[in-house]
Every structure is written in C-alpha cells, then in structure tokens.
C-alpha cells in the first residue's frame, strides 16, 4: 500500500506551526490551466492511503 | 479615433482640450482601451493577460471554467455537524476554524499579494447557511458544485438551518411573494444572500491579531473574576454571552493566523522545491516572511499592509460570510505604511513605482476574485464579477487634505492597468491637492468610468447627523465623520476601528419607486410582469377626482413596500445575531471587543440608507400626470391607463401582413376589398400610434405615412365567409430569413442543418427568443409562403404528421443548444418553437425556407 507520507508532494508540517499535528503534512502540487501555473496546498495525514491518488509519486530516498 | 472636445470660449478665453498623447488621434476607438492600458511592469502585464476573470453577462459567467466549488460548503457542514450542543457563536467560530485549517490554499504565478477563497483559482465558494433558494439556483445551473449528489445532500442538510428558514416564519406567504418580486423592493438578504460590509481593517493593520487575542483573553479573565464576585448579582448573567463571544473571537483569530501561515509555508515550499528562477525564489521567501508575520502582528511596511488587508478582505467578504463591496478609505488606511516604505524607507523600502506595481497587483487580485451571487444579482450587475468600490481623497480626521502620494499611487495603478474593478470614489473637497485632482480627471478622461466624485463635506455632515440617532449614544464624532467611504456604490459609511457597517441588514437596500407607481395606477395589480395582485388595494385611479387622491394612493403603496423592505432587513438582522454570527469581524471591531458583543448585534453608527431607484422616472411621470390629466385636462386617466396597457412592446410594429380566406360564395360590394384592408391598416397604425415603416419606391422611396400598403395573401376557400388574419412582421427578424434550394438527397438532416445554420447566422439580430417558421417543398415562392403561414399556428402546437412533429422538436433542441439566448445575451432559450409546413415538390427540387419571427409573435383573426 502507498501512503501520503511516501509521496513527493508530501511536506510534513513543522512542529512549531500553528496547525501542527503528528504525521500531518501539506500535499503541495503544481497545477496548470489555460491562464498559467499555480500551486495548491491541502492538509493530509501521512498515514492516509494514497494507492488510488492519481498524483502519487513515490519519493526516492528519505 | 480618439475624441477630443471642441475648444470652448469661457470668460473671454478660448479653452482647448488637446489629446495629451497626439498619437491617440490615429488610433481607432475600438482599440483605444488596450492602447491606453500600460501595466507598469512585465509582471503586471502578465498578471493581466493571465487574469482569471469572473465577469458575468446576462447572468452567465463569461469565461470558461468558472463554477462553484464544493470545499467551503463541505467543510462548514462537517463543522456544523460536529459542534452540535455548543453555543451558536462558538459553532460559527469553529466553522471558520475548520474551513481555514482544512481548505486548499493557492499560490498563483507572479503574484505579490497571495490568497484565494476557493480550491481552484477559477472557482467560487458557496454559502449554504445563507439562502436555500440561492443554493438551489446554483445546483440547477451549469456552475453546480461537484460531486452534484454531495452538493445536493449538503443543501438539503442546511435548509432548516439557513438564515432564510429562520426569517421566513415571520412573514405570511403573501408577504414573501411580494418581497421576492424582483422589481418592487430589493429582495431580503435572507433570500438572495446578498450582503455588504466595511471591515475595520485598521485594527488588523495597527494591532495585529495576536494583540486582539490578548485583549479578548483579558476581557474573559475580567469577566470570570466578576462572575465570582460576592455577593452574586443576576445582572451578571449577560457575562456568559460575552465570554462566549470573546471565546469565539479567539478561536476565529487563531484560525486566521494559522491560515495565513499556511500561505507562508506554501510560498516557502514552492521557493525551495519548485521555483527555478532565483529572483522569484527570493520574492517567494519574502512573501513567506510577510504571511508568517501578518495579520498576526502589526503591519510595518506597505507590503505587510497590503497582504494583511487582502487576508482580512477574504475572510470578511468571502470565507466567514459572503459580502459584496471593497469598502475602505484606502489612502488613509495605507498612508502610514506607504510613508514607512516609500518615503522614510524604514521597513520594506521601495520606490513610488514599486508601490504603483503593488496597487496594480491588488487591482488584478480583485479582478480575479469571484462571488457566488444568485442569478438575479449576476444579471443586474452585467460586466462585473461583483461590486468593488474603494474610496480615496477628501479630508482626514483633522480636517486636512487626505490626498498623499499614496492616493496618487492608487490612481496611477488604476490608470495603468485599466481594469473595471475595483471602482474608485474620489471624495471631493476644495482643500484636496491639485496634483491628485488632475489624476482623478485623467482617469475619467481615459474612459475608465471612475472615479465617481462625491462631496466630502456633505457626506461627513450626514455621518455626523446620523450619529445623533446612535442606539448607544456612540455615533460618529466630528473627527470620525470625516473618515467615511462608500459602503457599495452609493451609500457612505464610517471606516476605522469601530462603528463600521458589518452587514447589509445594518444599512443598504433598494426600493423601485417607478414600478410602485405603475402598480398604483392599477390598484396594486402588477399586470406587466407578474400578472398578480402585489400591492394593497388603493383604488382605481379612473375614479380619482384630484391629483391628491392619486398621490395618497401612491404614498400608501410606497409605505407598504418600504415597511416590508425594512421589516425584512430588521428580521434578517435579528436572526443574523442568533445564527449567523461573525466572530472574526467582531474580533477586529473595537466596539464588539469592548462590549463582548457580536458584530451582528452591536450597532453604534446608524445607517438608514435605502436606495429609492428610478425616482426620476416616477417623479417625471407624476409631474406629467398632474399637468396633463388634472391641471390642463388634455388627457383623461382612462386614456392613460388604456395607453399603458396597450403600448407596443417594440418600436418596430412591422409590415401589416394580411391573410385572407375568401369563401367562393362571398360577394364584396361597395368598393375594392384590398382598398378596404389598406384603409383599415392606415387607421390602425395612425390611430394606435404605431410606427409607420413602409417606403415606396423600395430603393430610394418615401414613407407612405400610414404603413400602407399591406402585404395581402388571398386564398379562395369553399363557403360564404371571409376570414381576415393580421400578422404584423418586424424588419429585424424578417431580414434574417433564408430560402435554400437543397438537393433532394438532403433529407431531414439537410433540412435541420439548413435551418440551424440560418438561426446561428442570425444570432441576436431577430430579437430572440424566436419562433422559427419553416416551409419545406413547393417551389421557390411557395416554400417561403409556407414558412410565413407556419408562424400563424398556435405557439408550440406540433405538426399533425408525426415525422414532421419529430423534426420540429429535433430542430428546436438543436437551436437551443446554440447558446444565443434571449436577446443574444447567452442562455438556453434561443427559440420558443419551430413550426414546419410542407407541400409537394418537383422531383429535382428540394426548396426549404426559414422565416424567423421575434418573440413578439402576435396575430389576430376575424371571420365575417
């Protein structure tokens, strides 16, 4: 099974952040529409099942 | 070419109006807008080119891909379900908290000010807690949030908890019917979700939210100590509500800080992991630093202030609740930060040009912003995505000129980037400096359509006068009265740390006085739009002997509707205080903070603004009625009412097309039949004041003056009767007719293609929605006559032959997929019906004719 925390788009929330929770991270994705690039961040839990996520790309290394 | 006024002589001098840039003289008018646009930097040029506009036309969003998002409605529903049992103000705060901690945050390329209010930069958020009718409006449209099933489920869940459901029980069905009529009063905000606010930005920029949290905590501590004081006094019970309010403020402010810092984190992640341009990387790290500090801490420079203001705007206007407008006295608000950055260069040092770029970026953020307004509001604000109006100029609280280089930077940005939004109000005062006034007029001269100019002193005096009626004797002071800004397009309101308007039920609404006069003429009956009794019975004006009786009837109607409008506002406000509290707005208002009251409850500065719209029409009509009917007795009230009821709905009353069915046993005596018909046409068009459109000879002729000759088609039929049918036909739709000689192999598909193409080519010209007459078969002239005759059939009655009826239906569907819509403004109803008539044809010919009829498809028959 693939987990969010293994994805290249997963960025753990620092411990000193207002919204810190253990294993919580930001799923940050670069997107593009006809008007140009934009980036979106959505909170996710690292242990979420990502096996059906179309944007999942396994992080290589740590 | 650019237009310049002719020189005029004034006090003996010739005043000339030269075009400032002589090159404009040679630029065609249709290109002048883009020519004058000159975003000051490559960044703002790119941002404008890539702006995701949310403009509307005829109620539809113009750009592709604009739709409602589901994220906000989903998150507020989750929070509402989880918070059952808690005080409602806490539930509202937890709702905001849940949204801000779990929503998507966005960062768009190139931008210097960050933050958006939906999960996709082309989407807009929904507010299911406001009006169930408005949500239904979206669910039924092509902009419906997805997944559609989930959106419907959320809408159903909220229905009993909406502001609308809370308010409706205090009205009868009849009253609600009157209140929801679109042209008598502005519908109650509980029904349409429309709202307006003046956020007290000053506290956010000057204090920062951490200080607001600390203040609320101090109030809670003091209140708890007071609760515990001995001996107990029941008067202190009100402290429990106050503690809840302060607690809700703390929850809301902490959530906003966390949300802003999520933007900081996103900027930092993009800078460190995605961005390859070193200069943009540096910018992103700078923005990350700003979002980490503001709005938590006080703003120190112009970049801080612009970002803190934008975050505050998003929460107050688009996340905690929807509100239209962009109310602020922007130059006064930002001057300390402009001074720090541009003049003193003590923090975020920059040049004036850098500040102008920042204001251009702000304009493009507003242009990118979208509002989830109901269809009615999208229709009445065509061309714009919402009402965005900021104010500048005038005097400051000390009675000195408020215009500064910051004011100029705002105007220069507007002139450079040329966006319709936000519009600007310039507060005119003789003390305002000439340099700034010149810029104001340059914006107007360049055709921006703004700034509008309002009288500073009159509005300041109005603020002061209204302040006398403050419920807590804390209305505007003379100093505060100087600091007003337009709340929306017309009504002024205070700006500053307190006493600003927090909701539209506190101030602002509309009354349509011309429509009310119309129904007064019909004893309260609306014959022209709703065909139903809408106002009270105030008598038949044909029985009135004096103008005063009519005036009294009108006064009663106005009183009825204004009472309904204000009652709806007041009940909205009462219910807003019960279930639509705004803890974030409360937290940034010094009054709410001091008293521990919610922003929907506290009102310090009254705002009784009620826009009476179209007064000129009503007053002109009353003056004309008094003069012509009661004073000079040139006309009677009978004649006025008859003329009102019988006025044509279009100026083109057409060619008189006459179809005669003459029984073969009929004998016409006493003259030529066609002469009699033409005489009748002449009498009807002259006596009925219909437009005369016939000219002869056709190439360079003169108007016959009585709309003759008629075009007469005669058919001999069995019997001894004469049936005369008149079908007036306007030129606009007739001009879009077409005849085609198809090949016999073209078949049904060929007919369908030919008809749909003819309608597509016609576009808006025949005044859709149209009725499409089609003739198939016969020869060249026969098929054209068939097409015309088919228009006489009762609307929508299918052809008796099944296959032809099926073809009519198929063509109608294809036409309504063209998207031309009523009057060509876009939409699903381009045609009301397709009628086909058929006749035998030659084996080698397949004639098809299309005759288009505008929506005024009227005909009348008489049998003698």
**For the residues of B565-578, what is the DSSP string, one character each?**
HHHHHHHHHHHHHH
Q: Using alpha carbons only, give the angle B499, B505, B506 rounded to the nearest 5 degrees.
A: 20
pLDDT at res. B327: 98
| C-alpha–C-alpha distance, residues B137 and B123, integer Å | 16
Partners of A41 on chain B (C-beta within 8 Å) are 104-107, 262, 265-266, 269
Which stretches of B507-647 are DSSP H helices?
513-520, 547-579, 583-587, 590-595, 615-625, 637-646
Report the Cα B406 to chain-centroid distance in Å: 30
Q: Which of A31, A41, A43 to mutate to test the interface with B (most CBs of B within 10 A)?
A: A41
Structure tokens at B96: 């905001």
Asked if residue B170 belongs to a domain, the reply is: no
Q: Which of residues 235-294 of B touch A (CB under 8 A)?
A: 254, 257-258, 261-262, 265-266, 269-270, 273-274
Residues B53 and B43 in one domain: no
Q: What is the predicted ipTM?
A: 0.98
Are residue B372 and residue B447 in the same domain, yes or no? yes
Q: How far apart are the first and last CA of chain A?
A: 18
Report yes or no: B768 and B831 within 8 Å, Cβ to Cβ.
Answer: yes
Which structural domain range is residue B31 located in?
Answer: 8-48
Q: Is the dihedral of CA B41, B45, B51, B55 positive or negative?
A: positive
Dihedral angle over CA of B627, B632, B635, B637, nearest 10: 60
pLDDT the model gives residue B1 = 60
pLDDT at B822: 82
Q: Residue A47: which residues within 8 A CB-CB, separation 6 or more? A: A3, A4, A5, A23
Phi, psi of B436 (to 5 degrees): -70, -40
| Whole-number Å distance between alpha carbons of B219 and B239 | 10
Q: Which residue of B has its CA nearest to A30?
A: B274
Task: Tell me the three state secondary structure of residue B432.
Answer: coil
Chain A positions touching B121 (Cβ under 8 A) are 33, 35, 38
Contact B118, B72 (CB under 8 A): yes
Tell me: do B431 and B326 sit in the same domain. Answer: yes
Cβ atoms within 10 Å, residue B29? 10
Q: Is-contact B366 B113, C-beta < 8 A? A: no
Number of compact structural domains in chain B:
5
List, in sequence order, every beta strand (DSSP E) within B183-311: none
CA nearest neighbour of B288 among B265, B314, B259, B311: B265
pLDDT given at position B647: 67
Cα separation, B261 vs B267, in Å, equals: 10
Answer yes or no: is pLDDT of A62 > 70. no
- Res B856: pLDDT: 78
Give the Cα separation of B236 and B760 in Å (integer).
72
Distance from CA of B67 to the nearest CA of A (A): 14
Contacts of residue B146, Cβ cutoff 8 Å, sequence gap at least 6: B70
Q: How far apart are CA B841 and CA B786, in angstroms?
A: 13
Q: Let me know whether B469 and B579 are in one domain.
A: no
Optimal mutation site among A17, A24, A36, A48, interface B, most CBs of chain B within 10 A: A36
Q: Could you say which of B676, B696, B726 is where a domain stops?
A: B726
Whether B721 and B831 share a structural domain: no
Q: Does the bond joining B709 to the residue before it have cis omega, within 30 degrees of 0?
A: yes
Note whether B714 and B746 are same-domain residues.
no
Reported as a single tens digit per residue, the pLDDT across B203-226 is 999 999 999 999 999 999 999 999
**Could you tell me which residues of chain A have a Cβ less than 8 Å from any Cβ in chain B?**
11, 13-14, 17-19, 26, 28, 30, 33-43
From A1's Cα to the closest Cα of chain B, the distance in A is: 25
A33 Cα to chain B: minimum distance (Å) = 9
Q: In this structure, are residues B131 and B354 in contact, taking their beta carbons and an 8 Å threshold?
A: no
Q: What is the mean pLDDT of each run of 10 residues along chain B (864 residues)?
A: 80 86 76 82 97 89 94 98 98 98 98 98 96 89 93 96 97 96 91 93 98 98 97 96 98 98 98 97 98 98 98 98 96 98 98 98 96 82 87 98 98 96 97 97 90 97 96 96 94 96 90 96 92 95 97 98 95 96 98 98 91 91 97 93 75 89 90 92 82 89 90 93 91 91 93 93 89 95 94 88 94 88 79 94 94 84 88
- Mark whether B737 and B674 lie in a shared domain: no
Cβ contact, residue pair B102, A43, below 8 Å: yes
pLDDT for position B2: 64
Evaluate whether residue B423 is within a structural domain. Answer: yes
Is B266 close to A41, i.e. CB distance below 8 A?
Answer: yes
Residues B101 and B17 in one domain: no
Residue B857's pLDDT is: 75
Report chain B residues whose CB lies below 8 A from the CB of A34: 64-65
Tokens of B845: 């010919």
pLDDT at residue B455 in the model: 97
Last residue of one domain, picked from the residues B474, B503, B532:
B503
The tens digit of pLDDT for each residue in B244-285 reads 999 999 999 999 999 999 999 999 999 999 999 999 999 999
B425 plus B515 within the same structural domain: no
Q: Is residue B267 part of a domain?
A: yes
Kindly report the length of chain B: 864
Domain shared by B362 and B471, yes or no: yes
Residues B526 and B660 in one domain: no
Which of B708, B726, B744 is the endpoint of a domain?
B726
In a domain, B173, yes or no: no
DSSP line for B75-123? HHHHHHHHTTTS-HHHHHHHHHHHHHHHS-EEEETT-SS---SSSSTTE
């Amino acid at each position: 099974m693939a987990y969010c925390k293994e994805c290249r788009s997963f960025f753990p929330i620092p411990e000193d952040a207002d919204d810190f929770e253990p294993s919580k991270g930001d799923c940050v994705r670069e997107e593009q529409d006809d008007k140009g690039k934009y980036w979106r961040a959505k909170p996710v839990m690292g242990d979420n099942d990502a096996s059906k996520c179309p944007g999942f790309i396994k992080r290589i290394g740590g | 070419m650019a237009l310049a006024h002719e020189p005029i002589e004034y006090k003996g001098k010739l005043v000339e109006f030269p075009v400032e840039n002589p090159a404009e003289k040679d630029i065609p008018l249709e290109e002048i807008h883009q020519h004058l646009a000159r975003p000051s930097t490559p960044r703002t040029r790119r941002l404008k080119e890539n702006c995701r506009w949310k403009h509307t036309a005829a109620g539809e969003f113009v750009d592709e891909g604009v739709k409602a998002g589901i994220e906000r409605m989903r998150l507020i529903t989750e929070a509402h379900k989880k918070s059952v049992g808690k005080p409602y103000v806490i539930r509202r705060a937890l709702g905001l908290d849940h949204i801000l901690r779990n929503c998507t945050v966005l960062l768009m390329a190139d931008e210097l000010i960050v933050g958006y209010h939906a999960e996709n930069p082309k989407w807009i958020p929904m507010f299911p807690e406001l009006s169930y009718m408005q949500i239904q409006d979206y669910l039924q449209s092509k902009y419906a949030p997805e997944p559609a099933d989930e959106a419907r489920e959320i809408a159903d869940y909220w229905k009993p908890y909406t502001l609308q459901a809370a308010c409706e029980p205090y009205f009868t069905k009849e009253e609600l019917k009157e209140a929801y009529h679109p042209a008598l009063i502005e519908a109650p905000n509980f029904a349409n979700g429309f709202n307006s606010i003046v956020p007290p930005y000053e506290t956010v920029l000057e204090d920062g939210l951490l200080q607001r949290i600390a203040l609320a905590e101090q109030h809670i501590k003091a209140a708890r100590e007071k609760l515990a004081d001995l001996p107990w006094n029941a008067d202190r019970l009100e402290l429990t509500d106050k503690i809840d309010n302060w607690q809700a403020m703390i929850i809301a402010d902490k959530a906003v800080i966390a949300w802003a810092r999520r933007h900081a984190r996103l900027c930092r992640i993009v800078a460190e992991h995605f961005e390859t341009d070193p200069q943009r990387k540096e910018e992103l790290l700078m923005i990350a630093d700003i979002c980490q500090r503001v709005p938590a801490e006080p703003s120190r420079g112009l970049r801080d202030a612009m970002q803190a203001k934008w975050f505050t705007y998003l929460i107050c206007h688009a996340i905690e609740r929807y509100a239209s407008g962009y109310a602020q006295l922007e130059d006064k608000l930002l001057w300390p930060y402009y001074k720090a950055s541009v003049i003193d260069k003590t923090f975020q040092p920059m040049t004036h040009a850098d500040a102008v770029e920042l204001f251009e970026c702000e304009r493009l953020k507003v242009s990118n912003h979208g509002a989830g307004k109901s269809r009615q509001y999208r229709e009445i604000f065509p061309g714009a995505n919402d009402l965005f109006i900021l104010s500048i100029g005038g005097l400051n609280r000390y009675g000195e000129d408020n215009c500064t280089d910051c004011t100029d930077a705002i105007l220069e940005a507007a002139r450079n980037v040329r966006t319709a939004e936000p519009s600007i109000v310039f507060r005119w005062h003789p003390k305002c400096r000439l340099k700034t006034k010149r810029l104001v007029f340059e914006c107007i001269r360049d055709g921006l359509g703004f700034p509008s100019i309002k009288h500073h002193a009159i509005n300041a005096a109005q603020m002061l006068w209204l302040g006398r009626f403050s419920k807590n004797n804390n209305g505007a002071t003379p100093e505060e009265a100087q600091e007003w800004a337009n709340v929306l397009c017309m009504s002024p309101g205070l700006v500053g740390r307190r006493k600003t308007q927090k909701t539209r039920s506190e101030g602002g609404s509309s009354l349509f006085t011309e429509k009310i006069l119309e129904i007064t003429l019909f004893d309260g009956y609306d014959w022209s739009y709703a065909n139903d009794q809408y106002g009270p019975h105030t008598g038949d004006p044909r029985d009135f002997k004096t103008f005063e009786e009519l005036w009294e009837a009108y006064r009663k109607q106005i009183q009825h509707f204004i009472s309904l409008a204000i009652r709806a506002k007041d009940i909205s406000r009462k219910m807003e205080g019960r279930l639509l509290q705004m803890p974030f707005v409360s937290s940034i208002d010094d009054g709410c903070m001091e008293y521990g009251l919610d922003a929907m409850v506290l009102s310090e500065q009254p705002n009784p603004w009620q826009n009476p719209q179209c007064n000129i029409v009503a007053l002109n009509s009353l003056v004309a009625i008094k003069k012509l009917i009661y004073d000079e007795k040139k006309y009677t009230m009978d004649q006025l009412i008859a003329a009102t009821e019988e006025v044509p709905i279009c100026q083109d009353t057409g060619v008189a097309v006459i179809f005669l069915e003459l029984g073969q046993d009929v004998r016409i005596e006493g003259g030529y039949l066609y002469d009699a018909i033409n005489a009748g046409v002449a009498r009807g068009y002259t006596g009925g004041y219909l437009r005369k459109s016939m000219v002869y000879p056709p190439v360079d002729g003169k108007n016959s003056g009585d709309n003759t000759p008629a075009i007469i088609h005669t058919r001999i039929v069995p019997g001894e009767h004469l049936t005369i049918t008149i079908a007036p036909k306007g030129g606009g739709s007739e001009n879009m007719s077409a005849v085609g000689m198809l090949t016999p192999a073209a078949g049904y598909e060929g007919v369908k293609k030919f008809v749909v193409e003819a309608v597509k080519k016609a576009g808006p010209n025949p005044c859709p929605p149209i009725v499409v007459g089609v003739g198939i078969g016969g020869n060249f002239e026969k098929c054209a006559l068939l097409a015309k005759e088919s228009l006489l059939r009762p609307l929508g009655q299918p052809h008796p032959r099944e296959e032809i009826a099926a073809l009519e239906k198929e063509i109608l569907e294809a036409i309504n997929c063209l998207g031309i819509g009523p009057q060509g403004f876009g939409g699903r109803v381009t045609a009301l019906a397709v009628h086909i008539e058929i006749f035998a044809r030659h084996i080698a010919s397949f004639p098809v004719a299309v005759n288009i009829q505008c929506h005024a498809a009227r005909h009348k028959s008489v049998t003698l």
